[in-house]
Structure 1
Amino acid sequence: MSDRLVTQALCWRVERRDGVMLALTDHDRDLVVGGVTYRAAPGMTPSAIVRAEGLDADTMEVAGALGTGAFRRDDLLAGRWDGARVVIGAVDWSDPARTAIPLGEGRIGQVELDEQGFTAELRGTQAQLERPASEATSPACRATLGDARCRVAMASRRRFARVTAWAGAKVTLDAGEPVADAYGEGMLRWFGGANAGLTSAIERSAGVEVVLRAPPVFAVAEGVLVELIEGCDRRLATCAARFGNVANFRGEPHLPGIDLLTRYPGG
């Protein structure tokens, strides 16, 4: 039994939301498990895995060194690893079959950076139970434009463009918008350059200019391809006039609330 404990190695597979998959092991050599090659990452140090018997969330932390390999500081700051799915298992590296023993899975939560490296929190699937069971009422729509509750067709409300100029949070494109402020409250998805795979929230748009809520994480080169996705200010008037979608409006604009006096000044 002691020999088996000595030959145990931890393996974890990390799947980012953009489709990139990373497989690592704390063994000193690469391991092939289930047809997947787990790269040796001796600098990665996992904490104790806490498995709860009740409904408390399973948690653990992984600490590692920053570098040009698996986890780079710029990628962590840009949020490329936020919400990534993590599957952790243990294998006997001396066994040619190398069947993994599942230890848990979850998603990357809070990430902390320091001079030595980084620490990532992994939260189990039970963490989803911490979310509110029901929505709170609001005068604004709580759906996202184009989702299953909104039901607005988005095929004609997306388009590609190329960047002709960039200054801070302001991006100039090679083509204008279909209607005034069409992309306000929408999204800009980067398809090229250093920001490829990231998305930026749009504050407002006017003609060929788009103002983002925050500057891009990395520098933007001229000619980079981006996708623009129309947005919505979540007001009932916009839902009726621009989208003709009042039947699916997910808000209560006429329900009195604590903001009643400020919502109707002088009324």
Structure 2
Amino acid sequence: MKQASPALVAFLAEARGTRDCAIAFAECFTFTQATGAVFSYTNADVPVIYRGKVFLANGPLVSGLKYRASTGLNVDRQEIVIAARPEDLAGWTPLLAALREGFFDGCVIQRDRVFFSDFVGGTLVDGVTLFHGRLSTVDEVGRTRARITVANELVLLDVNMPRNIFAPTCIHTLYDQGCKIPSGAFSTNDVVGSGSTRALINFAGAQAAHAQGTLLFSSGANSGRRCAVKSVVPGVSVSLIYPLPTAPAAGDALVAFWGCDHTMATCQARFSNLPNFRGFPFVPPPQMAM
């Protein structure tokens, strides 16, 4: 059952009692990347403002995402088509190229139907969420459109992962509630040096501890984007696991966070956080016999 506000319920009930009543509504689609970047589009002819977001009417066209309601734990998988032009960007990268290069991996996709009391883009009544799920696979990317498969949140139940894992390395995510390390205490503010590329960032503050950490850009073309560090040349540069959409310019501000290999030795030597270490390095391997 979909939840709707009392105002929307009353509006639809009144419309049902009126013969040949035309209801103005717009389909709104929100794409939230794993980095936190949000892109919102509508199939209406005018932009729609809903819940603090502006859904663009001159952006990509999304079709094929249907409303489905059922009981049980079956995963709702649907195929949708996104038609886009070269000037339709996801950040600084054309949308179709971003899909192809994996920038939308793990993306959360939501479809809302927004109702208006007079005309589309006029007086907003409210909306209702018809689909909330994740990008499953990118099936095809062409010159003008992409075909992708999305699945609702039940797809997470397909992950073959127990609640607790007894392994030598810590199962906490660095800086999360279980780890309890304040990220601000292990971060470095710096600026991008000259000669940086999409995959190699030069800055004098690079430290060995930044390996397996992250960079967060706070200015420039990549502002707000967080990326993972693969390796470090101390005092010179860091290499990224995945390249940025566009190369940063010299002087762009960034914050570099220390990384962790989740071993007991690193937890103690680098962070002095052994009381919160949740690894089990002394559990005998499966092949040992007593």
Q: Same fold (TM over 0.5)?
A: yes
1: distance between equivalents of 2:153 and 2:219? 33
Q: What is the CA-CA distance between 1:3 and the residue it aligns to?
A: 5.7
Alignment correspondent of 1:118: 146
- The equivalent of 2:111 in structure 1 is 88
Distance 1:42 1:243, change over 3 A: closer
Contact 1:52 1:58 in 2 (8 A): no
Partner of 1:264: none
Mean CA deviation greater in 113-122 or 25-34: 25-34
| Whole-angstrom distance in 1 between the partners of 2:20 and 2:225 | 46
Closer/same/farther in 2, CA of residues 188 and 33 from structure 1, 3 Å limit: closer
Are positions 1:57 and 2:57 aligned together?
Answer: no
Q: Residues of 1 paired with 2:189 and 2:164: CA distance?
A: 34
Query: Structure 1 residues 229 and 92 mapped into 2: Cα distance closer, same or farther (>3 Å)?
Result: closer
- Alpha-carbon distance in 2 for matches of 1:213, 1:19: 18
1:87 deviates by 3.1
User: Unpaired runs of 5+ in structure 1?
Assistant: 261-267
Taking every aligned residue pair, what percent have the same amino acid on both sides? 25
- Of residues 23, 28, 31, the one that matches 1:11 is 28
Amino acid at match of 1:64: I
1:25 is aligned to: 42
Contact map agreement 1:4 1:92 (CA 8 A) in 2: no
Partners of 1:28 and 1:9 in 2: CA distance: 9
Alpha-carbon separation, structure 2, partners of 1:248 and 1:38 = 43
Unaligned runs of 5+ in 2: 1-15
Q: After TM superposition, give the deviation of residue 183 of structure 1 in Å.
A: 0.6
* Amino acid in structure 1 at the alignment position of 2:96: R
CA offset digits 1:192-226 (Å, max 9, x no partner)? 33333332221232322223234434223222222
1:35-114 equivalence runs, <5 A: 38-40=55-57, 43-67=61-85, 68-69=87-88, 72-77=95-100, 81-90=104-113, 95-96=118-119, 99-112=126-139, 113-114=141-142
**Cα displacement (A) at 1:6:** 9.3
Coordinate RMSD, CA, aligned? 3.4
Measured after TM superposition, the shift of residue 231 of structure 1 is 0.7
**What SS class does the counterpart of residue 275 from structure 2 fall into?**
helix
List aligned pairs for 1:202-241, cutoff 5 A: 202-209=229-236, 210-241=238-269
Q: How many residues align?
A: 257
| Greater Cα shift, 58-67 or 153-162 | 58-67
- TM-score normalised by length of structure 1: 0.76
| Corresponding position of 1:163 | 192
SS at match of 1:241: helix
What TM-score results when the alignment is normalised by the length of structure 2? 0.71
Moved more, 220-229 or 201-210: 201-210
Q: Tell whether 2:170 aligns with 1:141.
A: yes
Distance 1:64 1:196 in 2: 26
Cα distance, 1:102 vs structure 2: 3.7
When residues 48 and 139 of structure 1 are mapped into structure 2, their CA distance, relative to the original with a 3 A threshold, is same
